Amino acid sequence: MRSVRESVLDEAARITDLCAPMNNRPVPPTAPSGGVMAVHAITLIANLMVSTSFPVGKEIANALEPGVLMLLRFGLAAIIIGIYVHFRHGLTWPGWSAIWRYAAIALTVVIFFWCMFEALRYTSALNTSALFTTVPVLSGIFAFFIAGERLGRYRVAALALGLLGALWIIFRGDPERLVALDVNKGDLIFLAGCIAFGLYGVFIKRFHRGEPTAVTTFWVLLFSAILYLAIAGKDLASSPWAETELVVYGAVAYLAVVSTVISFFMFQFATPHIGPTRVLAYSYFIPAFVLLVDWVIGRGLPPLMTFPGIAIVLIASLIIQRGVIETGPSR
């Protein structure tokens, strides 16, 4: 039981906070004219853009080597963001200490996207998108062990459900496949990528030194492209550039401009208004969006036993949202 002293101290702290001058409290940014609901709509649209990268990636995964595809995507995205940073913030050399920080963050990005495109050669866009929802959960685990952050009851509940949903999707809800460890090769590859990408948020928080988000993003994209060049350099000369259909290059441009650059600015706009936790929670809707896109382009529906796993990860998203509402958004 709580002591009387603890109760009195808690109440005194609450009264002190209520009586604090308003100008000493952080003022949240003003919501756009459409209100907070407009910000949520923008976040939802941004996740729809991100979700299209899975079926688009599936279509072009065999056209070129994964490293070559990602080199083109991140190289183009880095150029676009770099132009914006140059005119908005000024593009200057950040120093070697910053370079190593950006390179460490970029490494998690490189591993994730290479695994994504390699996995799409063997598994479906829906499976990869559903497994992607484990990233916030994995990030929470890494934050707990590396950064010492508290998970809290809601994140623990989301952790358990997220892992259950991921296992359900990987093994198609079949206990016999689980016991026999009958795993699709592509699912396993992408899960490894998700584990690497789970470190992304932890690295951002640990290595960020107050630079504008766009500046950090530019250097991470640039170093991702450089790392992909190191990985795929040997494949550049042997790649069938002339034989590759124009639609493949168009798809790469789409991934760079829409799924990377435009969605980045939308997320950057939404985060100060509704908090990063709520923004991140919307990623749990990506499997539903991929399911919709697959149906629209005529791929049909996935096996029926996949749907419970998708439902489980959606419930995990609602649990995170409930935790944010009750405890306040994390900014």
Find tokens 């795993």 and name the residue. 183
Residues 312/165, Cβ–Cβ less than 8 Å = yes
Residues 201-222 as b/e (b if ≥16 CB within 10 A, e otherwise) read bbbbeebeeebeebbbbbbbbb
Q: Is 124 exposed, middle or buried (0-12, 13-18, 19+ CB in 10 A)?
A: buried
- pLDDT tier at 35 (50, 70, 90 boundaries)? confident
Say what the alpha-carbon torsion angle 249, 292, 193, 75 is, to the nearest 10 degrees: 20
Q: Identify the weakest region by mean pLDDT among 36-50, 203-217, 255-269.
A: 203-217
Task: Compute the mean pLDDT over every residue in the chain, rounded to the nearest whole number.
Answer: 80
pLDDT at residue 325 is higher than 50:
no
- pLDDT tier at 283 (50, 70, 90 boundaries)? confident
% of the chain surpassing 90 pLDDT: 37
Find tokens 């995170």 and name the residue. 320
Report pLDDT for 25. 42
pLDDT at residue 300 is higher than 60:
yes
- pLDDT tier at 15 (50, 70, 90 boundaries)? very low
- The domain locations on the chain are 33-327
Q: Which amino acid is at 63?
A: A
Report pLDDT for 138. 81
pLDDT at residue 24 is higher than 70:
no
Say how far residue 261 (Cα) sits from the centre of its chain: 14
